[in-house]
Amino acid sequence: MTKDIIIALLVVVALGFDFTNGFHDTGNAMATSIATGALGPRVAVALSGVLNLVGAFLSLSVAATIASGLVQTGKVTVTVVLAGLCGGIIWNLLTWYFGIPSSSSHALIGGVVGSTIAAAGFGAVKWKGLFSKVIIPAGLSPIIAALVAATGTWLIYRLSRNISGGARKHGFRVGQIGSASLVSLAHGTNDAQKTMGVITLALIANGSLPSGSKAPFWVILSCALAISLGTYIGGWRVIRTLGKGLVEIESPQGMAAESSSAAIILLSSHFGYSLSTTHVATGSILGVGIGKKGAEVRWNVAGRMATAWLFTLPIAALVGAGAYALAHVIGGLGGVIVDVVILIAIAATIFVRSRKTAVSAKNVNDEWTGGAAPSKPEPAAVA
């Protein structure tokens, strides 16, 4: 009975993580289309939500790789997974509050690694897997994405320089709808899988599923729904930073950025790297700023993001470890419930605070007001 309640709580928390994953990452696919006006904000998030749903069913190859290659799965208990998810959710909410596009995948991995260390020591982590599958690709992927996007931008502007301004703008807006859709699809094939994998891992640890099982259908369906619902809600703060904060984007650049992101994400998952879509999208957007003559790249915004990326794994790990320690000290069902209650309290606090400086579909494209923290109220902030 106690085990059943704990596993039920875990599923709820995991779906909560999937939801934050969705709205945190809407911007990766749609920020540039919203910024250039290729799609209206509401239409963009709805389209992205639907394509995430489709993508989640399209490919199941990434599921479960997240934990099995990174920690000794034998040491993982349901409480460990739940504590790890707490770390991931709290990091996602904090970075969303500050409008920083950080990696949801790293938040999840960091949280689970941290809680595993707290439960079973440093030996339970496959450090080599962590470096070769997560940390090194995280360093390389934004650079590759920027290179591809800069090349694409340079080519596009060269090839389309004879087209009159209005026709070019309109043509590339149409193209952008296609390329942004592909990024949403790619996101669904990647990120929804990660939560499916985590829930499956916990079900196996609980003995509800035999080891080596694939994700059951209800897990696939509920994860797909959670991430697409989150996407539809739209993480307007992050969308704003990506679309307006980094580079002022025109529609040809938007298409170049999205094409580069889609290609790199799909290729990397083909090779089994659970890449961060956020790192790729940010690299691409920087790339289109570099590739166009005279475009302004706000390196201070980029620097603040990169700093947040460095801290994602360690801080999510610390929170995950803390959550596990707390649950462990209290023990049993009580410990898990205390974790969940604290998680809800923190989430509610962040949400209430965010309403004071709300960013929404209405003001997401307002003029970027410079070096101020994105948490500061925008001129046209709506309540």
Binding site for another protein (CB under 8 A): 58-61, 128, 131-132, 136, 140, 144-145, 147-149, 151-152, 155-156, 159-160, 162-172, 174-175, 178-179, 182, 185, 189, 252, 255-256, 259-264, 266-271, 273
CB of 360 to another protein, least distance (A): 26
Q: How far is the CB of 300 from another protein (least distance, A)?
A: 27
User: Identity (one letter) of the amino acid at 256?
Assistant: A
C-alpha triplet 235, 241, 243: angle, nearest 5°: 90
Secondary structure, 3-state, 180-243? HHHHHHHHHHHHHHHHHHHHHHHHHHHCCCCCCCCCCHHHHHHHHHHHHHHHHHCCHHHHHHHH
Q: How far apart are CA 343 and CA 16, in angstroms?
A: 11
State which residue, 104 or 179, has the beta carbon closest to another protein. 179
Question: Rounded CA gap, 16 and 14, in Å?
Answer: 5
Question: Which residue number, 99 or 175, has a Cβ lying nearer to another protein?
Answer: 175
* In the complex, least distance from residue 89 CB atom to another protein, rounded to whole angstroms: 28
Q: What is the largest CA-CA distance in the chain?
A: 71
Minimum gap (Å) between residue 208 Cβ and another protein: 24
Specify the amino acid at residue 274: S
Residue nearer to another protein on the CB measure, 52 or 179: 179
Phi/psi of residue 297, each to 5°?
Answer: -105, 125
Q: How far apart are CA 315 and CA 308, in angstroms?
A: 10
CA distance 12 to 9: 5
Nearer to another protein, 43 or 346 (CB): 43
The distance of closest approach from Cβ of residue 182 to another protein in the complex, given in angstroms and rounded to an integer, is 7
Tokens representing 306 are: 């990169």
Q: Are 189 and 271 in contact (CB under 8 A)?
A: no
Residue with tokens 């106690």: 2
Provide, rounded to whole angstroms, the least separation between the CB of residue 88 and another protein: 25
Nearer to another protein, 165 or 210 (CB): 165
Nearer to another protein, 266 or 325 (CB): 266
Query: Whose Cβ is closer to another protein: residue 94's or residue 256's?
Result: 256
Least separation in angstroms between CB 19 and another protein: 24
Q: Which helix (DSSP H) or strand (DSSP E) does residue 333 occupy? A: helix 332-356
Minimum CB distance to another protein smaller for 34 or for 263: 263
CB of 328 to another protein, least distance (A): 34
Report residue 247: phi and psi, to 5°. -145, 145
